Structure 1
């Protein structure tokens, strides 16, 4: 049974004997194949590693929190916050002024994509958090929403009032 060996196919062209008769065109072609194969392999590895690291970084950079507030009359309020832990390239907070109209449109497009992404992440995070906590059992009414490229905040009011169990599980300080 013959098995495919990567080392045999990649490195075999690089193993050139030092025979004086092989210093012809065939030897030069074999060296060329060796170098192009190695360069292609290295470029492929660099490309794949770049995609992988970007993918992993983008999913691990969000942090969420929720604060609950049960008022004396039984009204149940909450505030859900989502923030990006690793900020974008512009960490100073300074405004980046586009040089021309094309750059301005492109910057606006990227900001809108960032806001849309943050909004989708906030909605998904809030739904998962509410399902896990069982804070608003009958649903909630959204009071306000703030969405930016690096943070999101959703405030809401539960449709049902607080009972004794809610007051015990979610104390207000």
Structure 2
């Protein structure tokens, strides 16, 4: 006997379908068999969509991380040590005229691949020679000037000279 619900061929004396458990009757034609693969096709489509979305998220996330939009390299200069002849006048470093002083910043960074740069606002006040993360202020003249310590385009510390 053919099941009206799923189209499975059952034994003639069966009262219920062996595949879908629907009641079996002898009075009418069987229904079209249900597509057993329909559920599997839906699962495949959902799986493909999820895989595509995962790939997009990985690509976008990788781009954001590599370009510093997420997990930016935070860098700061908390303190500065000067090696050479100087005095303090409040928060101003008073350097001896025509002496060389080495500026050593205390850098805190979440990544070791940072690069510091130094710039003196009044270029007539002194010359600067960068030595890795440190710098030497050469030949300071008696004038007020600011020494900016920065990374990329962000000023991290300003020293009043």
- Same-fold status (TM-score > 0.5): no
Question: TM-score w.r.t. structure 2 length?
Answer: 0.43
Q: Which has the larger share of helix?
A: 1
Q: Say which structure, 1 or 2, has more relative contact order (CA 8 Å, 6+ apart).
A: 1
Q: Which has the larger share of strand?
A: 2
| Structure number, greater radius of gyration | 2
